[in-house]
Structure 1
Amino acid sequence: MAEDGQDDLEARRKRLESELGSLRKDEVSEQAKTAASAKNRKEMSKGLKLSSEFMAAIFAGFMIGYLLDRFAGTGPWGLIVFILLGFCAGVLNVLRSVGYVAEPEDRLKKDGE
């Protein structure tokens, strides 16, 4: 009788261990999915930030060039020059945000040291 109880308890313990193992695997895979989802959201927000900075610089150059041409009567030259300057500023902002170009404060600190 005692052996039947022990065998029954041993069988229940093994069944519970296997169920807990499968639940732990599911939990680990769920955590991995959550981490991947958070990383994807972070990368998406970084991409949107970079694209909006780029477009804002070009738009600012366009507006300055348009207003200069409108009030100074310089024809399309102000618009052309300031759109190109806005494009260059946008590229520089994106490169700084990504880390390919150092910030001006960082360069001054390195030169001073």
Structure 2
Amino acid sequence: MDEDEKDLERRRSELGAKLAERQAQKSRDMAKEKQGEVSRKGYAEAMKLASEFFSAVFVGGVLGYMLDRFAGTSPWGLVVLLLLGFCAGVLNVLRSVGAVAPVASSNRRDEDNK
């Protein structure tokens, strides 16, 4: 019986070591997953900001081209509206980042006066 108890104790200690190793591996995996989640959020934010900027410039360019095409003001409509689109894109990015305060709506001003 003494031999069986020693064997059982040895197996128990081996199992405890394996369990501790698995717990450590699990915590390392969780840390890697958190880091990956932060990285994915940063990538998503960058894509959102880039799409906001490029869409504003694109819309300004298209509207300027259309104005030049129909009004015959070539190239001034394209130049002016492309610059306005660029400014609007920069302003949108700054608002998304939080560097510039968002536009206050008239409803919000009415509530503040009450």
Amino-acid identity (%): 47
2:19 corresponds to which residue? 20
Distance 1:54 1:104 in 2: 17
Distance 1:42 1:99 in 2: 17
Letter in 1 for 2:56: A
Provide the TM-score with structure 2 as the length reference: 0.86
Distance 1:32 1:105 in 2: 40
1:45 corresponds to which residue? 44
Distance 1:78 1:20 in 2: 71
Give SS of 2:87's match: helix
Distance 2:19 2:38 in 1: 28
How far did residue 5 of structure 1 move? Answer: 3.3
Distance 2:103 2:93 in 1: 14
Letter in 2 for 1:67: M
- Supply the RMSD in Å over aligned alpha carbons: 2.1
Letter in 2 for 1:18: A
2:87 corresponds to which residue? 88
How far did residue 65 of structure 1 move? Answer: 0.7
Count the aligned residue pairs: 112
Structure 1 runs of 4+ with >3 Å offset: none
Which stretches in structure 1 are left out of the alignment for 5+ residues?
none
Letter in 2 for 1:33: K
How far did residue 93 of structure 1 move? Answer: 0.5
| More displaced 10-residue stretch of structure 1: 26-35 or 85-94 | 26-35
1:82-113 Cα offsets, whole Å, 9 max, x none, are: 0110000000111111111111128x858x47
Provide the TM-score with structure 1 as the length reference: 0.86
